[in-house]
Amino acid sequence: MSNYLGGLRRWLLRSGTSSSTRPRPARPGHRRESRDLAPPPGEGARRPQRLSSLLSARSVAGEVFLLQLAVVVLLVAAAVVALVVQGRSAAMMDARNRTLAAAGTFAESPGIVAAVRSPHPSAVLQPSAQAARKIAGVDGINVYTLDGLTLAHSDPRQIGKHVVGPFARAAAGRSFTETFSGSLGQSVVSVVPVKAADGSVIAVVSSPVTVENVQNMLNGQLPVVLGSAAAVLALSAGGTALVSRRLLRRTHGLGPAEMTRMYEHHDAVLHAVREGVLIVGAGGRLLLANDEARRLLDLPADAEGLPVTDLGLEEGIAERIASGRSATDEVHMAADRLLAVNIRPTAPFGSAGTVVTLRDTTELRALSGRAEVARERLKLLYDAGVQVGTTLDVERTSEELADVAVPRFADVVTVDLLDPVLRGEEPPEVNTEMRRTAVVGLHGEHPLYPVGKLIRFVPTSPMAAGLAGGRAVLEADLRTAQLWRTQDPENSLRILDRGIHSLIAVPLRARGVVLGMAGYWRGQDSPPFDEEDVSFAEELTARAALSVDNARRYTREHNVADTLQRSLLPRRVPEQSAVEVAHRYLAAEAGVGGDWFDVIPLPGARVALVVGDVVGHGLHAAATMGRLRTAVYNFSTLDLPPDELLSHLDELVAHIDTDEQEWGGITGATCLCIVYDPSSGRVTAATAGHPGPALVQPDGTVTFPEVPISPPLGLGAGLPMETVELTLPEGSVLALFTDGLVEGRDRDPDAGLAALRAALAGPARSPEEICTAVIDAVLPTRPDDDVALLVARTRRLDPERIAQWDVPPDPAAVSRVRNACARRLADWGLEDIAFTTELILSELITNAIRYGTEPIRVRLLYDRSLVCEVSDGSSTSPHLRRADDTDEGGRGLFLVAQFALRWGTRYTDRGKIIWSEQATHEGVAPAAMVPEEALLAGWDDEPL
């Protein structure tokens, strides 16, 4: 039995050691890791902030920390549960093994069969069973007979009692272990049969262990399990905290959404952005390159980490990127691409380095180039609208078109116009004969036709084709084209040798009429013309064609007005002896105006000097000027004094204004009229709104006599005009002018008069020289008004050629005066006309004696003709009539008209003067000379 107890003790020791000492080594390690997790000195002050950052789920680090901590807690809890379940299962298994080993060892122990068969088995078995129970650590070792009698029991009070138990299987020789509920609670019991030597079962040994005891044993291990779990949890949390703190620093406290968005942005920059992005480190090494940068720079796959200068880039762009200096839109070449480079430092947003962005501007440059071309052409069209057509001159307008197109559109521009266009006429329907009007872009000798050459273009030439079709003709490459050479084959080769290689021929069409052709030529390094250039050339030419047509129309109107005006102005100064005359007329640049001048011989060797000005320009002003000049001439034939002449002219202008009210214009006109008498040197002047004359004395001094100024013509309202009378020494100069000479938009009239005074002053000069000096010194460079200048040097009639007699009112005095006149005519050598002169004087003197009043005076003036004047104090006006056959008188004035060149009546403030004029040389006679018989038959002493 003692051997049994020793073996049981050894088995139990092996079993306890293997089961109870297995988890113990974890505890010292747990404590050791707990000590390792203690914070370092000085870090406790930052723990609350770090802890708050880590515990915040708004950052990636906090979210990772909380997630890892939850995972660790779940893993530790699962491990603890697994250990507890495993420990309970192991305890139950240990209880089964323990009870089975105890029961089996006791049932197989030596002496057990003898003890069962002994007379007092309980006495033998009870002590051994108690000792074995204590050694085995079970709740009891009980021995039962096959009929249920208790031989040994952990409770001695149960010995000798019968029990009911599951002994049938044991009686059959099989051992088993099962769990049951008994008086001690739920228990685990193992039953082993006791076999005799012959193998028969003679008793049953059971060994129970209550589950509570098993749980108590497990609870003894639970603190170790929980401590180990706590240590693992603390160690995992500490490690997670360390990792999360580092992650917090790396992510700068960003949240998950921000991190996701940053990753998406990063991915977009790498793969989706169509602008190259490079990140270069401080050492010039490439840290990052997106897909577009790789494409633009053709980078190798392993470019990251390499120096920028080793990537095989163009030297200029590689050095610029590696330099690290900031740049904005610097343009560099990379292979065949033109890249705009921007460089910015990454600090303070990252480590030292630069961010480089690359933009492909190759296509943009082409687009911007086309946009720049379009902008330049719009500006060219604007400049053409401003610069072409500034002078209303056809030739100048053509030159302006060529000037504005060279060199901004073409290298050479030629303009050819039809001859009628140059003259202002309507062009013909179809005509290929044109005159070269402008050539711009070539200097010196050149192969193109010169200006002024009349060119007849052959039908195959671009000019003729464009003229016939009414559209632009493009010859993009003159070197390969053949038809244009037929115009002039030799000259065509010279044109090509000069480098000219492209041509656009555009018709100058305006208002449905072709005026000529414009040729745009390119040469040297200029690109050839294309279809877009054709459209622009047509637009430019169309705008210029309107200006050319306006100039043509203006030229036509100007020519008509100029022709009209010059036909109305005096073509030559009439011959007379009173003054030596010179004149100038200059039309304004704005067109023909209404200035005029006139020199009108008057009876008695006198002369009328007239200068006038009609406001405005053009046909209306010229026509009005012609009407006024004609009126002045007609009024002069009436021998009216200047004031009366201007009064009649004023009425005429008022009448013109009344008639032209429907036309909408008012005639503004001024006039200065001067009558000079060379026999006395007396000047009578009157002005209607016109500047007075300048007077140059024989000694060279200049004055401006004050002439009473009346209102301009048409505004006098019937008021009388005022005159001034002056007596001039012989050789004095009168200068009559219009206001265009001394006035202007930018010129003060006083300054103009001062310049005129200076030009007139000085030594004696001829009227022609004076006119030239005045025009050169006084006329503005660009006069905006017409200028009329009339310079007259006065002469005196020789007193020897003047004869005068007073006639008493006695008919007998007629013969005496007639004889005295005959003698004076003989002295002058005018015997040939003595008879007719005596006849004329007899009739005039007799008429004055009979019908006039005193004083009666006769005067003979011998100048270019012989003038006979008979004056008296009456104002009756004789008139010419044809006498009937039965009339006894009335034929005297008829005879005077027949023998005199001219005759008339002039009224004075003291009466009237009847005058006649006769030629003084042979060959000039009255239009109708009657025979002497007719004269004698018509002679009568009846009054005229």
Residue 403 is predicted with a pLDDT of 92
The pTM of this model reads: 0.54
Q: What is the largest CA-CA distance in the chain?
A: 237
In 3-state terms the chain splits into helix, strand, coil percentages (rounded to 5) of 45, 25, 30
Nearest 5°: the CA angle 942, 943, 944 is 120
Please, are residues 424 and 552 in contact by the beta-carbon 8 Å criterion?
yes
Using the Cα atoms of residue 85, residue 91, residue 93 and residue 96 in order, give the sign of their dihedral: negative
Measured between alpha carbons, how far is residue 658 from residues 89, 653, 664, 718, 721 in Å? 142, 9, 10, 15, 21
Cis peptide, bond prior to residue 223, ω within 30 of zero: no
Residue 757 is predicted with a pLDDT of 92
Measured between alpha carbons, how far is residue 302 from residues 200, 306, 309 in Å? 89, 8, 14
Using the Cα atoms of residue 764, residue 766, residue 770 and residue 773 in order, give the sign of their dihedral: negative
Query: For residues 850 and 842, what is the distance between their CA atoms, to the nearest angstrom?
Result: 12
Q: What is the DSSP letter of 574?
A: P
DSSP calls for 651-678: HHHHHHHHHTTTTT----EEEEEEEEET
Query: For residues 201 and 203, what is the distance between their CA atoms, to the nearest angstrom?
Result: 6
Measured between alpha carbons, how far is residue 469 from residues 429, 458, 792 in Å? 13, 14, 61
Please, are residues 620 and 887 in contact by the beta-carbon 8 Å criterion?
no
Nearest 5°: the CA angle 276, 277, 283 is 130
Segments in the chain below pLDDT 70 = 1-63, 87, 165-167, 181-186, 212-222, 244, 246-257, 259, 263, 269, 349-350, 362-371, 430, 589-592, 659-667, 716-718, 879-892, 921-944
Cα 662 to chain centroid distance, Å, stands at 47
Return phi, psi of residue 57, to 5°. -80, 0
Residue 780 is predicted with a pLDDT of 75
Query: For residues 706 and 428, what is the distance between their CA atoms, to the nearest angstrom?
Result: 57
Count of CB atoms within 10 A of residue 282's CB? Answer: 13
Burial of 16 per CB tally in 10 Å (0-12, 13-18, 19+): middle
Query: For residues 233 and 216, what is the distance between their CA atoms, to the nearest angstrom?
Result: 26
Closest residue by Cα to residue 920 from 881, 870, 877, 864: 864
Query: For residues 917 and 823, what is the distance between their CA atoms, to the nearest angstrom?
Result: 19
What are the start-end ranges of the H helices in 852-918? 892-899
Considering only CA atoms, give the Rg of the chain: 72
Nearest 5°: the CA angle 308, 311, 313 is 90
Please, are residues 566 and 854 in contact by the beta-carbon 8 Å criterion?
no
Q: Position of tokens 């049938």?
A: 168
Query: For residues 840 and 869, what is the distance between their CA atoms, to the nearest angstrom?
Result: 10
